[in-house]
Amino acid sequence: MTKLSVNINKIATLRNARGGNTPNVLTAAINCQLFGADGITVHPRPDERHVRYRDVLDIRPVITTEFNIEGYPSDEFISLVISVKPHQVTLVPDAHDAITSDAGWDTLRNRAFLTDIVAAFRKKGIRTSLFVDTNPVNIENAALTGTDRIELYTEPYAASFSGNAVKAIEPFIKAAELARELGLGINAGHDLSLENLHYFSECIPFIDEVSIGHALISDALYLGLENTIQMYKRQLV
């Protein structure tokens, strides 16, 4: 069954809006785990506008489920990941001022750069995943970096889902099948929601993990965090 990793960045954004420690990000991570999340995802950015580096250090000792750290592999980020030793690191090509991840890696152009970073994390026993689109060239070159997994950038699927679900999912099925043929594990994330998650999971049942933050945390405002996590898990095959 595909695992659900809950991205708690939006909880940190709410906390940072007022200062102080409400809502408590560490408590939120613990509760997500308690309520059935298979993993916790954080994406500390250089300006620390949501999850902070201190949060990452605080969360790691109390998380017994999978811990996934996303981010652009700057020197500071690499040092954080190596010191924390999460179960997985997801590398994204975001600019420092990106509002959210909005593109996958050009793995052909960045292959040498990514290969060295993947090797460094592998030496520390940290699983790596590269954020990519459905372009076969990017998937093929991701495999050549030595990464363990890719994470498919699913915003194009989510944007087209309501208009034509069959057409929206088609490139993702092809991309996932190619990745599996190349021996890569497959994650997925970005704009997956209660509306579109089940169809995605049904069409690609061999996805290892989905990482969901914005939609899930938004739904939790209305439905409650525990109930929302369980609702999302029920969408997965």
pTM above 0.85, yes or no: yes
Report the pLDDT value the prediction gives residue 103, as an integer from 0 to 100: 77
- pLDDT over 60 at 123, yes or no: yes
SS3 string, the chain, reads CCEEEEECHHHHHHHHHHCCCCCCHHHHHHHHHHCCCCEEEECCCCCCCCCCHHHHHHHHHHCCCEEEEEECCCHHHHHHHHHHCCCEEEECCCCCCCCCCCCCCCCCCCHHHHHHHHHHHHHCCCEEEEEECCCHHHHHHHHHCCCCEEEEECHHHHHHHCCCHHHHHHHHHHHHHHHHHCCCEEEEECCCCCCCHHHHHHHCCCCCEEEECHHHHHHHHHHCHHHHHHHHHCCCC
Mean pLDDT of all residues in 26-37: 97
- At 174, is the pLDDT very low, low, confident or very high (cuts 50, 70, 90)? very high
Report the pLDDT value the prediction gives residue 217, as an integer from 0 to 100: 98
Report the pLDDT value the prediction gives residue 212, as an integer from 0 to 100: 98
Report the pLDDT value the prediction gives residue 178, as an integer from 0 to 100: 98
- pLDDT over 90 at 97, yes or no: no
Mean pLDDT of all residues in 184-207: 98
Using one digit for the tens of pLDDT, what is the confidence trace for 110-121?
999 999 999 999
- Residues 6 or more apart in contact with residue 164 via CB below 8 angstroms: none
Tokens of 89: 């690191």
Using one digit for the tens of pLDDT, what is the confidence trace for 137-172?
999 999 999 999 999 999 999 999 999 999 999 999
Domains in the chain, start-ordered, CATH in brackets? Answer: 3-233 (3.20.20.70)
Mean pLDDT of all residues in 200-208: 98
Cα distance between residue 180 and residue 134, in whole Å: 13
Q: Point out which residues pair with 148 in neighbouring strands.
A: none
Q: What is the mean pLDDT of the chain?
A: 95
Report the pLDDT value the prediction gives residue 96, as an integer from 0 to 100: 61
Mean pLDDT of all residues in 98-105: 70
Report the pLDDT value the prediction gives residue 99, as an integer from 0 to 100: 56
Residue type, position 197, single letter: L
Using one digit for the tens of pLDDT, what is the confidence trace for 40-70?
999 999 999 999 999 999 999 999 999 999 9
Active site residues per annotation: 43, 70, 190
Cα distance between residue 157 and residue 74, in whole Å: 29
